Amino acid sequence: MLRSGEVYASEAWDSTGFKLNGENPDINFVAPTTGALGWIDTFALPAKGKNDEAAYKWINFVMQPEIAALIVQSSGSFSASKGSDALVPEKLRKAFQEAFPPQVIANVKWFPAIPPGYEDMEGKILDKIAAQ
């Protein structure tokens, strides 16, 4: 609907805004003045993993700025890999910089860590809701 001009504002993730900006420079993500929601996707190794060495090699590979930049280009979500932002196409980098100037970054509301067992509790509640 943003593409067609039927609506002028929408709730969306920043990566959606960056994708639309790639198609139309008049569209971009704008963080709320109250603060954008932030989180960092992470890697975790299971306690009883069978090949930690390979897992660490994978993590080190995808965190290389050149590889992280390719992932950014594919997903539209920016990386925590230092220097990867300088390696994405200028149009995408500019959209990010417009959406997240330093004052917006300083006001990000970080999503808290999910405590152990939360997913189990959530699943049980959803099961009860679905059963009714």
Query: Average per-residue pLDDT in the chain?
Result: 90
Tokens of 59: 């993590």
pLDDT, tens digit, 9 for 90 and up, residues 22-69: 899 899 899 999 999 988 888 889 999 899 999 999 999 999 999 999
Helices (H), 1-132: 14-23, 52-62, 65-75, 90-99, 102-105, 118-131
- Pairing of β 109-110 and β 37-38: parallel
pLDDT of residue 118: 87
Question: pLDDT: is 41 or 125 the higher one?
Answer: 125
The domains of the chain are located at 14-131
pLDDT of residue 68: 95
Has residue 132 got a pLDDT over 80? no
pTM of the model: 0.71
pLDDT of residue 40: 81
Amino acid at 68: A
Long-range contacts of 104-107 (CB under 8 A, 24+ apart): 104/31, 104/36, 107/31, 107/35, 107/36
pLDDT of residue 43: 87
pLDDT of residue 125: 92
Q: Which residue has the tokens 């943003």?
A: 2
pLDDT, tens digit, 9 for 90 and up, residues 105-119: 999 999 888 888 888
Q: 37: part of which helix (H) or strand (E)? A: strand 37-38
Q: Which residue has the tokens 């417009």?
A: 98
107-132: average pLDDT: 87
13-27: average pLDDT: 89
Determine contact, residues 17/28, Cβ cutoff 8 Å.
yes
